[in-house]
Amino acid sequence: MEKATFGGGCFWGVEVAFRQIPGVTATQVGYMGGSLKNPTYKDVCTDRTGHAEVVEVTFDPAKVSYEDVLKVFWTCHDPTQMNRQGPDVGTQYRSVIFYHTPEQQAAAEASKQELERAGAFKRPIVTAILPATEFWRAEEYHQQYLEKRGLASCHLK
């Protein structure tokens, strides 16, 4: 199994998108990229910890490639919005790929460059590509939030 970590705005809708992929064996939402140890949702919402809301994706590379997981990331949010998605504003909602290996870094950078070359979006892609840092699991009520409420999605594009 491999791990991949993505921030694409509010983690509830992003998690749903990744859970749909055959070969994804688990997801969990949490926080990455900030300075505070063991942050809470309340801490992260202050926009002062530096964390992004992220989804950690566990997948079987024999069943789904990292490149295919990346494709879902690029389509489940708007990677041209800086520090926001729809009405959600703040650095915790930034578009970011946290890579776990040099191969993931290379694949993420290549996919971003290809989308930019192809003019896939009307505005420039602002997604950061950064090394993964410590993942802090979000509170239990955030895990599979939409599924627990019988909702299919909440993302805005």
Distances (CA, A) of 92 to 5, 26, 41, 85, 87: 14, 22, 10, 10, 13
Dihedral sign of CA atoms 136, 138, 140, 145 in order: negative
Question: Model confidence over 29-66: pLDDT tens digits?
Answer: 999 999 999 999 999 999 999 999 999 999 999 999 99
CB atoms near residue 22 (< 10 Å): 9
Burial-class residue 6 by CB neighbours within 10 Å (0-12, 13-18, 19+).
buried
For residue 142, name the pLDDT band (cuts at 50, 70, 90).
confident
Q: SS3 of 93, please?
A: helix
Indicate which residues carry an active-site annotation.
10
Contact 78, 37 (CB under 8 A): no
What is the average pLDDT score of the chain?
94
Q: What is the DSSP track for 11-54?
A: HHHHHHHHHTSTTEEEEEEEEES-SSSS--HHHHTTT-S--EEE
Query: Domains in the chain and their CATH numbers?
Result: 2-148 (3.30.1060.10)
| Predicted confidence band of residue 145 (pLDDT cuts 50, 70, 90) | confident
Q: How confident is the model at residue 157 (pLDDT cuts 50, 70, 90)?
A: very low
* pLDDT per residue as tens digits for the range 75-97: 999 999 999 998 899 999 999 99
What's the confidence (pLDDT) of residue 152? 67
- The model's pTM: 0.94
The structure tokens 């055959």 sit at: 22
